[in-house]
């Protein structure tokens, strides 16, 4: 098989790592821009958002399967373009991807079909948003409608914070066109978790649970990021909770999308709050999570390529997933200043020792090669992952790997998996 991976981050490196291990794969290609991926895949000099060029290239090269990591190409219609050329691609159509590309669409869909989520109001102007804030009070959540690289959700402890968030999004244009509308949402009490699933248009095959750490600082402080670390499984997602997620959230939303004329094939990400009343949806995403993927993929014992093929073909009926019982903890190493302005071009040292410590589970995100040296090239530079006999062992191992890596301004959270550690006693 000839497989193409679209995307250039740590998530895509983890996916490429898993795909490369499949005996089904003879040639692996990836959109260029990540030295870690380019060690195991042949680079394609076409950007992830150049969907027409990618479709033409894939047709010419007779690519058997394409796997899309980031949300932006999916929202731009890459699946539609590939399908027009008769190419198999694991991901939702542009219409189905609106479950992530528009929070207004997602919230309205959930309300229409009774899928548990926070109460919300859609606001088309700053004045309308401020009126809603005055009416409902704080704490609450302000969300930009469109794609904002995981940073468009602002949790506000006071009405003043909420009004400031509205100004940043709708007046200052912090997220550009993504902030033309906002969702003012009820603040949910509970513990967050993520459940991803393979979806074939009708059937839902959940993956193991995980938990992301969105805030930049230890103790879940500071602004939201794209994700500073994750671990799998998440103890808060018991077997009973997972059944409810499947029966009350994942299956209903897939059926709802089909009824709306937007059949969903691909990876569906459910960001959840596990409340006293049960699981509720914080957000849906139309793809693998980052960094959840870096914590999930090392635990997946099943060859991922036949699963992705079955997803793309629309028939998961004969697919079963087997998971390594050992937990996995992933820690993101970021540039100083992230998620705000940051500098790049700093040499990265110690990766060989880290890879030895972690059996190769070092995934590149914002890196590049410069004059024969590996240097920083983004906000989230690397993700290191460690498997352990239990959660404490996995935490200890991944942080031993972190100790080997050095670059100027390197920042990371030192408390990844703290909730799981607290539960383990």
* Block residue for tokens 């795909």: 19
Residue 151 has pLDDT above 80, yes or no: no
CA distance 192 to 59: 41
Which tokens in the block code for residue 14? 């983890």
- Least Cα distance to 106 among 45, 167, 152 occurs for 152
Which tokens in the block code for residue 56? 């033409």
Q: Which tens digit of pLDDT belongs to each residue from 19-46?
A: 999 999 999 999 988 999 999 999 999 9
Residue 224 has pLDDT above 90, yes or no: no
Beta strands 204-212 and 191-200: pairing type? antiparallel
Average pLDDT of 403-410?
Answer: 98
How many alpha carbons lie under 13 Å from residue 336 in its C-beta half-sphere?
8
Identify any residues that bridge with 157 across adjacent strands, giving them in sequence order. Answer: none
HEC per residue, 228-280: CEEEECCCCCCHHHHHHHHHHHHHHHHHHHHHCCCCCEEEEEEEEEEECCEEE
CA distance 342 to 147: 21
Helices and strands: H and E segment counts in the chain? 16, 21
CA distance 388 to 325: 9
Beta strands 221-224 and 65-68: pairing type? unpaired
- Least Cα distance to 294 among 12, 4, 5, 1 occurs for 12
Beta strands 27-31 and 89-90: pairing type? unpaired
The pLDDT assigned to 296 comes to 98
Say if residues 245 and 279 touch (Cβ distance below 8 Å).
Answer: yes
Which tokens in the block code for residue 90? 């694991």
The pLDDT assigned to 149 comes to 73
Say if residues 7 and 70 touch (Cβ distance below 8 Å).
Answer: yes
CA distance 218 to 379: 17
CA distance 110 to 314: 24
Beta strands 229-232 and 328-334: pairing type? antiparallel
Q: Which tens digit of pLDDT belongs to each residue from 64-116?
A: 999 999 999 999 999 999 999 999 999 999 999 999 999 999 999 999 999 99
Which tokens in the block code for residue 163? 């009004």
* Block residue for tokens 């299956």: 251
CA distance 71 to 117: 22
User: Reduced to 3 states, what is the DSSP secondary structure of residue 307?
Assistant: helix
Going from the N-terminus, what domains does the chain have, and what CATH number goes with each?
A: 2-93 (3.40.50.20), 124-180 (3.30.1490.20), 191-313 (3.30.470.20), 328-424 (3.90.600.10)
Say if residues 4 and 19 touch (Cβ distance below 8 Å).
Answer: no
The pLDDT assigned to 8 comes to 96
Residue 221 has pLDDT above 90, yes or no: yes
Percentage of the residues of the chain whose pLDDT score is greater than 90: 94
Cα separation values, 112 from 115, 116, 241, 370, Å: 8, 11, 23, 52
Beta strands 89-90 and 120-123: pairing type? unpaired
Find the distance separating the first CA and the last CA of the chain, reported in whole Å. Answer: 47
Confidence of residue 402 (pLDDT cuts 50, 70, 90): very high
- Rounded to the nearest integer, the mean pLDDT of the chain is 96
Residue of higher predicted confidence among 76 and 177: 76
């Amino acid at each position: 098989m000839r497989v193409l991976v679209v995307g250039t981050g740590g998530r895509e490196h983890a996916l490429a790592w898993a795909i490369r291990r499949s005996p089904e794969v003879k040639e692996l290609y990836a959109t260029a821009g990540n030295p870690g991926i380019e060690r195991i895949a042949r680079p394609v000099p076409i950007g992830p958002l150049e969907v027409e060029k990618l479709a033409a290239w894939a047709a010419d090269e007779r690519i058997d399967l394409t796997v899309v990591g980031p949300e932006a190409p999916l929202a731009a219609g890459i699946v539609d373009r590939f399908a027009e050329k008769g190419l198999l691609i694991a991901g939702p159509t542009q219409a189905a991807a609106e479950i992530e590309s528009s929070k207004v669409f997602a919230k309205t869909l959930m309300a229409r079909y009774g899928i548990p989520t926070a109460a919300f109001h859609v606001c088309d102007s700053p004045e309308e948003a401020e009126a809603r804030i005055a009416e409902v009070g704080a704490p609450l959540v302000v969300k930009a409608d469109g794609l904002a690289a995981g940073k468009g959700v602002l949790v506000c402890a006071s009405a003043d914070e909420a009004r400031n968030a509205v100004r940043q999004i709708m007046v200052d244009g912090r997220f550009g066109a993504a902030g033309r509308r906002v969702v003012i949402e009820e603040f949910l009490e509970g513990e967050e978790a993520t459940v991803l699933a393979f979806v074939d248009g009708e059937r839902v095959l959940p993956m193991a649970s995980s938990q992301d750490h969105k805030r930049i600082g230890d103790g879940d402080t500071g602004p939201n990021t794209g994700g500073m670390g994750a671990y799998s499984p998440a103890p808060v997602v018991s077997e009973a909770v997972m059944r409810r997620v499947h029966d009350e959230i994942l299956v209903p939303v897939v059926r709802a999308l089909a009824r709306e004329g937007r059949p969903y094939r691909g990876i569906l990400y459910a960001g959840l709050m596990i409340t006293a009343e049960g699981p509720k949806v914080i957000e849906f995403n139309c793809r693998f999570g980052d960094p959840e993927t870096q914590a999930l993929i090392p635990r997946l014992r099943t060859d991922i390529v036949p699963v992705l093929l079955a997803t793309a073909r629309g028939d998961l009926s004969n697919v079963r997933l087997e998971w390594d019982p050992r937990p996995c903890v992933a820690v993101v190493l970021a540039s100083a200043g992230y998620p705000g302005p940051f500098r790049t071009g700093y040499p990265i040292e110690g990766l060989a020792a880290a890879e030895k410590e972690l059996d190769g589970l070092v995934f590149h995100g914002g890196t590049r090669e410069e004059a024969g040296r590996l240097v920083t090239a983004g906000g989230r530079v690397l993700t290191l992952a460690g498997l352990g006999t239990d959660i404490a062992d996995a935490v200890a191992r991944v942080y031993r790997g972190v100790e080997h890596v050095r670059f100027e301004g390197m920042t990371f959270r030192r408390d990844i998996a703290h909730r799981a550690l607290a539960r383990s006693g």
